[in-house]
Structure 1
Amino acid sequence: MLSEAVRLREAGRPEEARERLVALAAELPDDAEVAYQTAWVHDTLGLEAEAVPYYERALRGTGLSDDDRRGALLGLGSTYRILGRYEEAVTTLGAGATEFPDDGGLKTFLAMALYNTGRTHDAMETLLTLLVTTSKDPEIAGYRPAIEEYAKDLDATVR
């Protein structure tokens, strides 16, 4: 039944998928994968507040693949941010970025949440560091040492 609901979501039929997943989540409250898929379909439908408890349940459970755990952390953190729960977003996305240090998506959403909490320095440091470590642009690569230095302190002047 889970695979059928996922296929419905992927086929552009999220309302039908949601109905099946909500019923399945009620039957299997300890199934982390079902909870994750249920959260995801709620997010797809713009039902962020309804997605939160499912994301939280998925992350409390066991059995998520690394990709699904990463997706649940990003989904929950992003959803917290959309709902104005900025500190929870920073905590969740920060934990995700620590657990999955190579995930640029988590770091990008973390930077947005940091910005929302007024931590603009941390947000810029996160984004600039991500930029210089992932960009293939030769112009950026040429300035990598300077950008890395400025990422630490954008307010620095000539010393």
Structure 2
Amino acid sequence: MSGPARDDLLSEAIRLREQGHHEQARQRLLAVAAAHPHDAEVAYQTAWVHDVLGLEAEAVPFYEAALGGGLSPRDRRDALLGLGSTYRVLGRYGDAVDTLRRGLGEFPGDGALQTFLSMALFNTDRHHEAMRLLLKLLAATSGDPRVSRYRRAIEHYAEDLNETVRG
């Protein structure tokens, strides 16, 4: 399968996925992936369609292959998020935390990565760290004027949710 044929088939599969024809997209992507086993973009799109279909276990090897190299920064960020979230759904909480931390190492401040990391941290019984991450994200990104008004207090208490006035 040559470059233009690959590009056309990949574009068609993405269009099918975007139009909600997930199984047709999956079949096309599996064929393209078989012909281009080392193509990061094809692997990423194949992982994505498996996730959309609820086939998380089947998505994992495609995400892992995609992260081997060759993705645009945006797709790399989304693949790290997708793999971390998929690990979490599969109950592989430690892998989820590791992957999402790796994502934040590469893309510091990404709110989606922080949110999914907080869920994985919750699943690993690191509740304080999960809450701290979410509270800081809420304080930094909320458009709610009442939340914004208390931003400094929220950020302060996020560091120690057990803080009380000692008298």
Alignment of 1:98-113 (within 5 A): 98-113=105-120
- Counterpart for residue 10 of structure 1: 18
Q: Which runs of 4+ in 1 moved over 6 A?
A: none
What whole-Å deviation, never above 9, does each CA across 1:84-129 have from its counterpart, x for those lacking one?
A: 0000000111111221123211110100000000000100000000
Deviation at 1:67, TM superposition (A): 1.2
Alignment of 1:1-80 (within 5 A): 1-60=9-68, 62-80=69-87
- Counterpart for residue 136 of structure 1: 143
Instruction: Please list every run of 5 or more consecutive structure 1 residues that lacks an aligned counterpart in the other structure.
Output: none
Aligned CA RMSD, in angstroms, stands at 0.9
Instruction: Please list every run of 5 or more consecutive structure 2 residues that lacks an aligned counterpart in the other structure.
Output: 1-8
Deviation at 1:8, TM superposition (A): 0.9
Deviation at 1:24, TM superposition (A): 1.0
Q: Say which SS state the counterpart of residue 114 (structure 2) adopts.
A: helix
- Counterpart for residue 88 of structure 2: 81
Asked which structure has the greater CA Rg, the reply is 2
What whole-Å deviation, never above 9, does each CA across 1:39-78 have from its counterpart, x for those lacking one?
A: 0000011100000000000001x22111111110110000
CA distance in 1: counterparts of 2:64 and 2:11, whole angstroms: 21
Deviation at 1:4, TM superposition (A): 0.9
TM-score, scaled relative to structure 1 = 0.96
- Counterpart for residue 114 of structure 1: 121
Q: Tell me the amino acid that sits aligned with residue 111 of structure 1.
A: S
CA distance in 2: counterparts of 1:88 and 1:53, whole angstroms: 13
Q: Say which SS state the counterpart of residue 118 (structure 1) adopts.
A: coil
